[in-house]
Structure 1
């Protein structure tokens, strides 16, 4: 995900894919059987990006390679008072994100206003994490500083289909009027 600056990229697939990520764009890629991937910043830019690499289960390691540019303008969005959820992958409050997956993963971009809470239901056996870009929200009832990660572990021995809530909450007014939290989970 790009938080500032343009990032030219090139991926070698059966067809060549090139382009540049802009602010808020997401590159969703599955290496699968193999991909050649390169990214670099323009000469005088200093992009800020966040990358999440998920290790697929052994049974999925040789799946078909897939590459998706998910432009910010095309992200599915759910809003509620003080909360904006950009849904990249899976669903939030009935809104489904555009990313296609070989393995279940939930990817959301949360923007929380002051003194707001957002809870996302996840399968009990999934691990969740949140990267905080600004502010100091509570993630799973623990304060998490800017540029740090909050997480929750899976619930061992959870019943098939059992869910749990992953919560983010802001308690005070930050210097910037919005806290921004990036969240994803992988099973």
Structure 2
């Protein structure tokens, strides 16, 4: 929840003077997943067989790098510790940013737009209130999570819900190009667009006459919220896990993520150990919230690995696609709590500009123009302002 990224730099235009623009013909585009899948029990390119998608972790990921996340004040009442989105690690496909944030009045994020990513807010302490241009509003408190899919466009406000410091973790997950506003396709002009399994597919009829098509995708804003007591949890051998997204220790989250993802809040007693599967090929990382933990398959002291303390960000390697999970243990001298996140990368170009995450500079400029002119997903912003903004204007 970067102040620079979330606070809109685009003031609402005079709507009355905006010229109406015809809407583009719109269809949903479904692009088949081309990621190769290794069947369970099949031989991979690794030196030994690995259980892909299974429950047994045979080859845990090694730690590729660690970053200390220093507290940085950003304006009055707001501070953050940044893991992803800093000069040393600008992104980790598909993750755009990961912050531990703290804010208190008068800080807040007044009406601002988003497009092109999923915004995850997990509260560690206190709460924040939100409202958007569709009338969706509410408050999430300690232990609650909000998983918002911005898709083609959303305008909302987020404010601290009480006095004192509100603290949480904010994660931006990039969407595939097919889930943003526009998909640029090079199709034969004689292609036939047909509907199947809830999407549209192009059937090549004449490959001699290619033409470029820009198709608008109707990925509407979506909010999924889970109260702390509704987040599935499991406990085993001194390890407790809250499954925010994905599955672990037999517990599965009901959240449906647009980009396949895993998000776990892990708490470990001193000396406890955990091995949890993570699909090969996915990007994976961890942020230590409290205590200290050792990641990887070694014993820490014996292999030269150092314990990662509070506010340390850890990036895992993938061993050329051979690693099948993550291993962690708390040291004997302290408990540990960390957030483990992983997701399937898109392998696409990314251009991030403030509140927009698109694939090209032209698409970012289009998003900015759409917001200014209240079109292509931002229509409901015309004439809308949040209660927070209205209250601030009255004073």
Please, what TM-score do these two structures have when normalized by structure 2?
A: 0.43
1:91 aligns with 2:212: no
CA distance in 1, matches of 2:177, 2:318: 19
Change (3 A) 1:35 1:155: farther
Deviation of residue 36 (structure 1)?
1.4
Q: What does 1:94-173 correspond to in 2, within 5 Å?
A: 94-140=250-296, 142=305, 143-156=307-320, 158=321, 164-173=324-333
Larger helix fraction of residues: 2
Q: What does 1:8-157 correspond to in 2, within 5 Å?
A: 8-13=129-134, 16-42=135-161, 44-62=163-181, 63-140=219-296, 142=305, 143-156=307-320
Question: What SS does structure 2 have at the residue aligned with 1:73?
Answer: helix
Deviation of residue 86 (structure 1)?
0.7
**More deviation in 133-142 or 18-27?**
133-142
**More deviation in 75-84 or 43-52?**
43-52
Larger Rg: 2
Question: What SS does structure 2 have at the residue aligned with 1:59?
Answer: helix
CA distance in 2, matches of 1:67, 1:56: 15
CA distance in 2, matches of 1:182, 1:55: 19
**More deviation in 164-173 or 26-35?**
164-173
Does structure 2 retain, via aligned residues, the 8 Å contact 1:130–1:139?
no
Gaps of 5+ in 1: none
Report what 1:4 is aligned to: 125
- RMSD over aligned Cα atoms: 1.8
Does structure 2 retain, via aligned residues, the 8 Å contact 1:117–1:168?
yes
Larger RCO of the pair (alpha carbons < 8 Å, separation 6+): 2
Deviation of residue 3 (structure 1)?
0.9
Q: How many residues align?
A: 178
Please, what TM-score do these two structures have when normalized by structure 1?
A: 0.87
Question: What SS does structure 2 have at the residue aligned with 1:120?
Answer: strand
Larger strand fraction of residues: 1
Deviation of residue 163 (structure 1)?
6.0
Deviation of residue 88 (structure 1)?
1.1
Does structure 1 retain, via aligned residues, the 8 Å contact 2:239–2:269?
yes
Gaps of 5+ in 2: 1-121, 182-218, 299-304, 345-395
Does structure 1 retain, via aligned residues, the 8 Å contact 2:289–2:337?
yes
Does structure 2 retain, via aligned residues, the 8 Å contact 1:105–1:186?
yes
Deviation of residue 155 (structure 1)?
4.6
Does structure 2 retain, via aligned residues, the 8 Å contact 1:125–1:155?
no
Does structure 2 retain, via aligned residues, the 8 Å contact 1:139–1:151?
no
CA distance in 2, matches of 1:47, 1:6: 6
Change (3 A) 1:42 1:93: closer
* CA-to-aligned-CA distance 1:68-123 (integer Å, 9 cap, x gap): 11110101111101010111111113311121111200011101111011111111
